[in-house]
Amino acid sequence: MRLFSFFFTVGLSTSMALADPLPSWSESQSRDRIIDFVESVTDPDAATYVTPADRIAVFDNDGTLWGEQPVYFQLIYAVEAFQEMAEADPSLVASDALKAAAAGDYAALAQSGKAGLVEVLAATHSGLTVEAFQSSVANWLAQAKHPDTGMAYDQMTYQPMVELLRYLRDEDFQTYIVSGGGIHFMRVFAQEAYGIPPEKVIGTYTETSYSVIDGVPTLTKDPAIGFVDDKDGKPINIDRIIGKRPVFVGGNSDGDFAMLDWATAGEGPRFGLIVHHTDAEREVAYDCDSHIGRLCDGLEQGPEKGWLIVDMAKDWSRIYSGTK
């Protein structure tokens, strides 16, 4: 019995010593506010206690859980996938936007405007089965490298946020992604990168059609946009799919403002978090003037609404989950 008791004590104190849930967060007010909140809603004796069934946490993806510069990674996938397609069949290069994509010329692609982007996305995100699309994304992720960091894209997840997701789940939160990114795209890596399974990935989607081809029931991705999970679309989609108002909500751009505003306006304790990209040295510094992940309203109104503005440069001791 003594030996058992000895191991038990050692085991316990080791696990307690390891128990810092947010090791990549600097010792800061930000970190303390998060931990204080989580403790306050998980303490059954506290007036602020939230039952596990209602512990819903939602996070934007691009710029919140992983990088989004110089352009959304999903657009880089589309351009690189189209380059391969165009190499195999040059007749596909049938417009200025597609020409820009085939050349990997993002500046020229940007000049073709929203219509041009939609054209490149449609060319690469439709006309194939869901399974074929996801194989293509998986193959791309396995070899593609980010132009600035040289890292694999799914290594460019933010380690402090991965820890936050895990911490919340350890405290019986359900963690969801609610992103402008595509559902079929994100589901390829969300489980491994974030521990978030397909059924907890909410996002933008194209229409899908169902047909029985040679006796095989098949889901095919169509070019038409079905739903854009951005701005007002975020609270709408959360209500539609989750049916509960989240208790913890994180984003980084004004595309997340409505989701943050709606969630934190709910009764009882709520936590709103905005990742502010302040670290020009380790990542990219941007906010109100950025063409991607523009953050103005959130910076201006967030503090008075009680939202935590995370200062990446100061609050995070480490940025990426992966190494080069």
Contacting positions for a second copy (CB under 8 A)? 53, 56, 130, 174, 183-184, 187, 197-199, 201, 205, 208-210, 212, 216-217, 219, 226, 232, 235-236, 239-244, 258, 261-262, 265
CA pair distance 52, 54, nearest whole angstrom: 5
Burial class (CB in 10 A: 0-12, 13-18, 19+), 130: middle
Bridge partners of 276? 311
CB 97 within 8 A of CB 111: no
* Residue keyed to tokens 């890596």: 189
Residue 319: CB minimum distance to a second copy, A: 29
Spatial neighbors of 148 by CB under 8 A, at least 6 apart, are: 69, 70
Residue 96: CB minimum distance to a second copy, A: 32
Name the residue nearer to a second copy (CB basis): 132 or 265: 265
Name the residue nearer to a second copy (CB basis): 214 or 281: 214
Name the residue nearer to a second copy (CB basis): 263 or 312: 263
Residue 236: CB minimum distance to a second copy, A: 5
CB 269 within 8 A of CB 37: yes
Name the residue nearer to a second copy (CB basis): 12 or 219: 219
Name the residue nearer to a second copy (CB basis): 116 or 235: 235
Name the residue nearer to a second copy (CB basis): 155 or 208: 208
CA pair distance 31, 163, nearest whole angstrom: 12
Name the residue nearer to a second copy (CB basis): 201 or 312: 201
Residue 47: CB minimum distance to a second copy, A: 23
Residue 283: CB minimum distance to a second copy, A: 30
Residue 199: CB minimum distance to a second copy, A: 5
CA pair distance 208, 132, nearest whole angstrom: 13
Residue 60: CB minimum distance to a second copy, A: 16
Residue 271, both tokens? 């936590």
Pairing state between β 308-311 and 271-276: parallel
Residue 234: CB minimum distance to a second copy, A: 9
Query: What are residue 222's phi and psi, to 5 degrees?
Result: -100, 160
Residue 113, both tokens? 């405007």
CB 292 within 8 A of CB 68: yes
Name the residue nearer to a second copy (CB basis): 121 or 202: 202
Closest residue by Cα to residue 308 from 278, 276, 283: 276
Name the residue nearer to a second copy (CB basis): 94 or 219: 219
Q: Taking the chain, what is the end-to-end CA distance rounded to the nearest angstrom?
A: 49
Residue 83: CB minimum distance to a second copy, A: 27
CA 72 to chain centre: 11
CA pair distance 39, 33, nearest whole angstrom: 10
Spatial neighbors of 67 by CB under 8 A, at least 6 apart, are: 73, 146, 156, 158, 283, 284
